[in-house]
């Protein structure tokens, strides 16, 4: 059995990171997102599917050309290759679990689009 606390995982940006390849080579990875207001992920894509599970707070997500506001209990499915990103639009921490159907994280950041800029997504540095 492999068991741990989230605080034992690597933390970068706004997320604890569980990479399946480092945890017994399981077939999924995930981010435990704890994004402060105004923080999030810029427009990007993956070669695999991703599922976002919003636990607390309020966000705005862009998937392809669609924009949606999210809250606790929302589930957003992002198919492989689809540009997407999110931003915390609330006054408190946005908590979500971003499940990557891959044992490793592979992310390609993309240039902002009119849709992602209008939605307020962060811009890559």
So where are the chain's domains? 11-119
How wide is the angle at C-alpha 61 spanned by C-alphas 11 and 73, nearest 5°?
A: 80
Supply the CATH classification number for the domain 11-119.
2.60.120.10
Flag whether pLDDT at 125 surpasses 90. Answer: no
- How distant, in Å, are the alpha carbons of 16, 21, 124 from that of 76? 19, 24, 22
- Model-wide pTM > 0.85: yes
Flag whether pLDDT at 6 surpasses 90. Answer: yes
Q: Where are the beta strands (DSSP E) in 10-123?
A: 11-12, 15-18, 29-35, 40-45, 50-56, 58-63, 66-71, 75-78, 84-88, 94-100, 108-109
Q: What confidence tier does 124 reach under pLDDT thresholds 50, 70, 90?
A: confident
Q: What is residue 80's predicted lDDT score, i.e. its pLDDT?
A: 98
Kindly state the average pLDDT of the residues 70-94. Answer: 98
Name the β-bridge partners of 99. Answer: 30, 51
Which tens digit of pLDDT belongs to each residue from 16-38? 999 999 999 999 999 999 999 99
């Amino acid at each position: 059995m492999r068991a741990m606390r989230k605080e034992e995982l690597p933390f970068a940006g706004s997320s604890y990171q569980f990479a399946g390849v480092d945890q017994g080579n399981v077939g999924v990875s995930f981010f435990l997102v704890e994004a402060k207001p105004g923080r999030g992920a810029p427009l990007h894509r993956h070669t695999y599917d991703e599922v976002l599970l919003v636990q607390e707070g309020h966000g705005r997500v862009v998937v392809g050309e669609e924009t949606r506001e999210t809250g606790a209990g929302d589930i957003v499915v992002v198919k492989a290759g689809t540009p997407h990103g999110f931003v915390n639009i609330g006054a408190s921490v946005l908590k979500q679990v971003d499940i990557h159907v891959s044992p490793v994280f592979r992310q390609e950041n993309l240039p902002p689009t009119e849709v992602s800029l209008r939605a307020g997504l962060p811009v890559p540095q």
